[in-house]
């Protein structure tokens, strides 16, 4: 009996060691500043089913979505596939996105190969329900999540957050490319750059004026 108990403990400890852990990276708008692709989608269905050990059912590892609007980024197709979790990865389960339902979601393609994924380490998707955005992250405690509001209000907040990084046309067909790009627009990085140089130049000018004034005082 002692050996059986030790074996069971080792089994669960091994699974816990393999399980993913990560810090919460923020709500939808906070994450959108650094995301490569931000879309409004309709879920078509699932693919790539996986039979879980010690379970009688199977779960899909991929969710297939149709892009309705594209707020940021480029696509190679208006139908995209996103990798879900198998229980050991820092991803949302594919089944969290329900068929025939609409969502706002974002993901990264920078440096990625194969199917992109939806991370579970932040608010990477919002459900659209009765023309409102609803956060699934409300189930969790002590995290930053999006309050329920009208879709139009949230879209306005999103476009303001993205600034010059927002697509001029939200039609996916206007943002198709042959090869997925590897660069993402980062609004904060580009907008802060001139500010730092202005502060530096002002500081140099003040030091120069101070030196001249001190020299004139000593000469007098």
Q: Report d(CA 185, CA 109) in Å as an integer.
A: 12
In which residue are the tokens 């959108």 written?
Answer: 32
Residue 160 binned pLDDT confidence (cut-offs 50, 70, 90): very high
For residues 176 and 74, is the Cβ–Cβ distance under 8 A?
yes
The 8-class DSSP code of residue 131 comes to T
Residue 149 binned pLDDT confidence (cut-offs 50, 70, 90): very high
Closest C-alpha to 190, from 164, 157, 167: 164
Closest C-alpha to 184, from 46, 31, 82, 60: 31
Exposed / middle / buried, residue 133 (Cβ in 10 Å: 0-12, 13-18, 19+): buried
Q: Report d(CA 120, CA 25) in Å as an integer.
A: 9
Residue 12 binned pLDDT confidence (cut-offs 50, 70, 90): very low
Q: Calculate what percentage of the chain has a pLDDT beyond 90.
A: 43
Q: What is the pLDDT of residue 137?
A: 74
Question: Does position 138 have pLDDT exceeding 80, yes or no?
Answer: no
Q: Calculate what percentage of the chain has a pLDDT beyond 70.
A: 75
Residues 6 or more apart whose Cβ sits within 8 Å of residue 14: none
Query: For the whole prediction, is pTM greater than 0.85?
Result: no
Q: What is the pLDDT of residue 2?
A: 45
Q: Report d(CA 186, CA 108) in Å as an integer.
A: 13
Q: What is the pLDDT of residue 116?
A: 86
Question: Does position 27 have pLDDT exceeding 60, yes or no?
Answer: yes
Q: What is the pLDDT of residue 62?
A: 93
Give the mean model confidence (pLDDT) for residues 126-134: 95
Which range has the top average pLDDT, 142-146, 174-178, 180-184, 198-202? Answer: 174-178
Q: Report the DSSP pairing between strands 125-129 and 37-51.
A: unpaired
Residues 6 or more apart whose Cβ sits within 8 Å of residue 159: 71, 166
The beta strand positions in the chain, using DSSP E, are 37-51, 58-72, 79-83, 102-107, 125-129, 132-134, 149-150
Q: What is the pLDDT of residue 6?
A: 37
* Mean pLDDT over each residue of the chain, to the nearest integer: 80
Q: What is the pLDDT of residue 193?
A: 47
């Amino acid at each position: 009996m002692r050996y059986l108990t030790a074996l069971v403990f080792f089994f669960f400890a091994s699974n816990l060691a393999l399980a993913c852990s990560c810090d919460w990276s923020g709500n939808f708008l906070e994450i959108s500043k650094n995301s490569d692709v931000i879309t409004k989608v309709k879920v078509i269905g699932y693919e790539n089913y996986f039979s879980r050990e010690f379970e009688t059912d199977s779960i899909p590892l991929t969710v297939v979505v149709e892009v309705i609007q594209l707020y940021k980024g480029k696509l190679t197709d208006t139908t995209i596939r996103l990798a879900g979790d198998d229980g050991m990865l820092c991803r949302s389960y594919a089944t969290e996105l329900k068929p025939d339902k609409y969502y706002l979601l974002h993901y990264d393609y920078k440096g990625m190969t194969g199917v992109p994924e939806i991370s579970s380490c932040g608010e990477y998707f919002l459900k659209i329900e009765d023309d409102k955005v609803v956060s699934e992250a409300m189930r969790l405690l002590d995290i930053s999540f999006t309050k329920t509001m009208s879709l139009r209000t949230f879209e306005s907040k999103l476009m303001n957050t993205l600034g010059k990084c927002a697509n001029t046309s939200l039609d996916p067909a206007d943002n198709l490319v042959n090869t997925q790009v590897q660069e993402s627009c980062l609004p904060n990085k580009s907008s802060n750059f001139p500010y730092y140089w202005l502060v530096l130049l002002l500081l140099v000018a003040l030091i120069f004026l101070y030196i001249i004034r001190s020299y004139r005082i000593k000469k007098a």
